[in-house]
């Protein structure tokens, strides 16, 4: 068995990002949302699901909201299991296979008649993805020493970025040039891409599963470890009243996460329906955002060293707000609308990785020095983000259902950025965060 800190072991752990990141890029962000919007479009804009009529965009937003609500609920349970049972790998495998098989099942989602397949298995895939990450993250302190963890974690990001972009480019060629692959049905290429994502995720995960230790410590506590995660989150919630600076930051984090995560998940649908962009143009936009995102994360990381985390975060929030406001004013009849959409996407890419990395590092610096369990605080941080996604996607879907347009939804998300900026402006400086 490989020893903790071994280069082969740490690379094996990080390689799971190569396996699973194709889900977050191809399914959550790029191909599936566009495909869904295309095949569920009707003259009335409404579809039937479980005997009820929904605006097709609202239904997708509600499905996302529901999936993250489940994830937010089960994450503390899974964290408790990951901390105290000795078979993390078995749980990680279960959620990996559950997610990858659910993604492959999306192949059978052909249109309105099979709408239930698209909704149900997109929810299942989300649960599988986030569920496996709980156990994947819990392995980090067991495969790498403290002074290695930042590097190993970043290594996972690099693997994930490269792997997901490679598969997305392949899927893009299949969508744009289906004749290269002997495909004549325009709806078949995206469905095949769902199969490639599921297979990629499942097959490359075997590298990680082979190298990770079995971790059979069997350190089950006397009390009910299933609900220990909720007990720990409740403890953090109680401690926050005595930590006004941390509470202030978390409030702002929740507000801007409503906007950030909703835009990430629903931007391609907005581009497809409201702007009328082609599938290939939207996927190319996603690739550009990924490329710009790396440069942006590096740029704002260095900027935070010069002017401080809070000021840098405020700058990213302002850019997010302006980008969403600009998207609100886009007009599909404008001959330059595609170019303008690309420019807005470029600015979003610039601050996408930046706001996520700055959020994590700022939160880490604000944790009470005396805490002996930062994992619990980060679990609280993760649940806060998931609840923000639930709130944001639900509001987006509800606004579309009421107005039959996504423009008001984008404007509402812009207001969340404004609110988060105001809250952050009242935050006091500390010796570590300014």
**Separation of CA 318 from chain center:** 21
Same domain? 105 vs 161: yes
Global pTM reads 0.86
Same domain? 96 vs 245: no
3-state secondary structure the chain: CCCCCCHHHHHHHHHHHHHHHHHHHHHHHHHHHHHHHHHCCCCCCEEEECCEEEEHHHHHHHHHHHHHHHHHHHHHHHHHHHHHCCCHHHHHHHHHHHHHHHHHHHHHCCCHHHHHHHHHHHHHHHHHHHHHHHHHHHHHHHHCCHHHHHHHHHHHHHHHHHHHHHHHHHHHHHHHCHHHHCCCCCCHHHHHHHHHHHHHHHHHHHHHHHHCCCCCCCCCCCCCHHHHHHHHHHHHHHHHCCCHHHHHHHHHHHHHHHHHHHHHHHHHHHHHHHHCCCHHHHHHHHHHHHHHHHHHHHHHHHHHHHHCHHHHHHHHHHHHHHHHHHHHCCCCCCCCHHHHHHHHHHHHHHHHHHHHHHHHHHHHHHCCCCCCCHHHHHHHHHHHHHHHHHHHHHHHHHHHHHHCCCHHHHHHHHHHHHHHHHHHHCCCCCCCCC
The residue among 284, 285, 349 whose CA lies nearest residue 320 is 349
Question: Of 192, 220, 248, at which residue does a domain stop?
Answer: 220
Inter-axis angle of helices 374-403 and 56-84, nearest 10:
170
Same domain? 129 vs 240: no
The residue among 434, 398, 389 whose CA lies nearest residue 416 is 389
Same domain? 86 vs 58: yes
Number of domains the chain contains: 2
Same domain? 79 vs 211: yes
Same domain? 202 vs 255: no
User: Are the beta carbons of 273 and 324 closer than 8 angstroms?
Assistant: no
Same domain? 258 vs 129: no
Paired tokens of 368? 């009470």
pLDDT by residue, tens only, the chain of 434 residues: 788 878 999 999 999 999 999 999 999 988 999 999 999 988 887 999 988 999 999 999 999 999 999 988 888 887 777 666 667 888 899 999 999 999 999 999 999 999 999 999 999 999 999 889 888 887 877 888 867 776 787 788 788 888 998 999 999 899 888 999 999 888 899 999 999 999 999 999 999 999 998 765 555 555 666 677 777 778 888 888 888 888 999 999 999 999 998 988 888 889 888 888 888 888 888 888 878 877 887 788 788 888 888 898 999 999 999 999 999 999 888 889 889 998 999 999 888 878 887 887 788 778 777 665 566 777 788 889 899 999 999 999 999 999 888 888 899 999 999 999 999 998 876 655 66
Q: What is the largest CA-CA distance in the chain?
A: 67
The residues near 68 (Cβ < 8 Å, ≥ 6 apart) are 126, 386, 387, 389, 390, 393
Same domain? 363 vs 286: yes
Same domain? 211 vs 235: no
Same domain? 212 vs 259: no
What is the number of other CB atoms lying within 10 angstroms of the CB of residue 284?
Answer: 19
Question: Of 174, 195, 220, at which residue does a domain stop?
Answer: 220
Same domain? 356 vs 330: yes
Same domain? 252 vs 208: no
Strands 46-49 and 52-55: antiparallel
Distance CA 100, CA 105 (A): 9
User: Are the beta carbons of 311 and 318 closer than 8 angstroms?
Assistant: no
Question: Of 154, 187, 220, at which residue does a domain stop?
Answer: 220
Q: Could you list the residue range(s) of the whole structural domain that residue 40 is in?
A: 1-220
pLDDT at 185: 87
CATH code of 298's domain = 1.20.1250.20
* Dihedral in degrees, nearest 10, Cα atoms 124, 130, 134, 135: 60
């Amino acid at each position: 068995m490989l020893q903790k800190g071994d280069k082969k072991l740490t690379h094996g752990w990080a390689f799971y990002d190569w396996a699973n990141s194709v889900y977050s890029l191809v399914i959550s962000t790029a191909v599936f949302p566009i495909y869904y919007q295309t095949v569920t479009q009707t003259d009335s804009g409404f579809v039937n699901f479980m005997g009820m009529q929904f605006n097709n965009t609202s239904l997708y937003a509600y499905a996302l909201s529901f999936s993250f609500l489940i994830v937010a609920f089960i994450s503390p349970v899974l964290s408790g299991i990951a901390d105290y049972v000795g078979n993390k790998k078995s749980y990680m495998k279960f959620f990996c296979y559950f997610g990858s098989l659910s993604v492959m099942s999306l192949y059978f989602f052909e249109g309105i008649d099979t709408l239930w397949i698209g909704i149900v298995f997109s929810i299942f895939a989300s649960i599988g993805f986030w569920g496996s990450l709980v156990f994947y993250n819990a392995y980090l302190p067991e495969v790498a020493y403290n002074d290695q963890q930042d590097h190993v974690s970043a290594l996972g990001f690099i693997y994930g970025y490269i792997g997901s972009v490679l598969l997305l480019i392949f899927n893009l060629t299949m969508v744009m040039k289906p004749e290269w692959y002997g495909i004549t049905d325009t709806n078949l290429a995206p469905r095949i891409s769902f199969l490639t994502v599921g297979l990629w995720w499942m097959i490359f995960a075997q590298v990680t599963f082979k190298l990770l230790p079995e971790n059979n410590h069997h350190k089950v506590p006397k009390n009910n470890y299933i609900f220990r995660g909720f007990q720990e989150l409740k403890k953090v919630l109680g401690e926050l009243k005595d930590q006004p600076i941390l509470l202030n930051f978390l409030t702002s984090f929740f507000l801007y996460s409503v906007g950030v995560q909703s835009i990430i998940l629903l931007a391609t649908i907005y581009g497809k329906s409201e702007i009328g962009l082609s599938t290939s143009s939207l996927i190319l936009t996603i690739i550009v955002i990924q490329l710009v995102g790396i440069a942006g994360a590096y740029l704002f990381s260095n900027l935070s060293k010069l002017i401080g985390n809070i000021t840098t975060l405020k700058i990213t929030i302002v850019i997010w707000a302006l980008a969403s406001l600009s998207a609100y004013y886009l007009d599909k009849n404008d001959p330059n609308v595609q170019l303008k959409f690309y420019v807005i996407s470029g600015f979003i890419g610039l601050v996408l990785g930046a706001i996520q990395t700055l959020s994590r590092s700022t939160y880490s610096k604000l944790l009470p020095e005396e805490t002996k369990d930062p994992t619990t605080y980060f679990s609280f941080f993760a649940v806060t983000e998931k609840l923000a996604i639930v709130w944001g996607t639900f509001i987006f879907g509800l606004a579309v259902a009421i107005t039959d347009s996504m423009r008001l939804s984008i404007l509402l998300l812009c207001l969340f950025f404004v609110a988060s900026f105001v809250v952050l402006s009242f935050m006091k400086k500390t010796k570590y965060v300014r």
